[in-house]
Amino acid sequence: MRHGLALKPRRRFRKGTVLIVDGTLVPTRDHTIATQSKNYRYSTNHQVVVDAHTRLVVAVGKPLPGNRNDCRAWEESGAKAAIGRTTTIADGSYPGTGLVIPHRRPRGGELTEWQAEHNRKHKQVRARVEHVFARMKTWKILRDCRLKGDGVHHAMLGIARLHNLIQAA
């Protein structure tokens, strides 16, 4: 079933586009699709991809149990397939995925000056996805979702679409 408010996945991105990905937990009462996560609530993990320049949501992965780590959720949710080979940045919880992540301090050493500067800029850009999550979670349905089955995913897609409409206005 196709809903009019649902976010439509984009097939191609303009050359030079930079995307940001992060996972967010959506508390839900449907224990068939959710598991207890780090906040001790039953949640689903949603991978959300945001355009770094426009701050519009471009893809939302299928919900996975909340105890799934971000690396695995990135692969399994379909978010990776939705964006193809577009340059994408993420936080440090995505090692080995091919995404642009911050530099890690070597064992017993320190980061070089350029690495520290790169990490600082990386953090500033990545904060945009956290701001998008904050705006999306002002909707009560994403703070305590009572929908069953695919309802959680449809709610997330609908809220992403509403966020994009508000952002574009």
In tens, the pLDDT along 80-108 reads 999 988 999 999 999 999 999 999 998 98
Residue 140 maps to a domain:
yes
What are the Cα distances from residue 84, in Å, to 1, 13, 102, 104, 155?
25, 9, 21, 26, 24
State how many domains the chain has.
Answer: 1
Answer yes or no: is 6 within a domain. Answer: no
Q: Of 58, 97, 102, which is closest to residue 74 (Cα–Cα)? A: 97
Q: Within a domain: residue 35? A: yes
108 in a structural domain: no
Q: So what's the pLDDT on residue 12? A: 79
13 found inside a domain: no
Range of the domain at 41: 18-101+113-168
**Could you give the percent of the chain with pLDDT greater than 90?**
59
Give the residue among 67, 23, 12 at the shortest CA–CA distance from 49: 23
Q: Is residue 57 part of a domain?
A: yes
pLDDT above 90 for 1? no
Strand partners, 88: 19
Among 29-33, 44-48, 117-121, the least confident range: 29-33
Q: For residue 45, list its beta bridge partners.
A: 25, 64
3-state percent helix, strand, coil for the chain, nearest multiple of 5: 35, 20, 45
CA distance 69 to 61: 14
Please indicate, yes or no, if residue 1 is contained in any of the structural domains. Answer: no
pLDDT, averaged across the chain: 88
Residue 97 included in any domain: yes
Rounded to whole angstroms, how far apart are CA atoms 158 and 152?
Answer: 10
Place of tokens 């703070």: 143
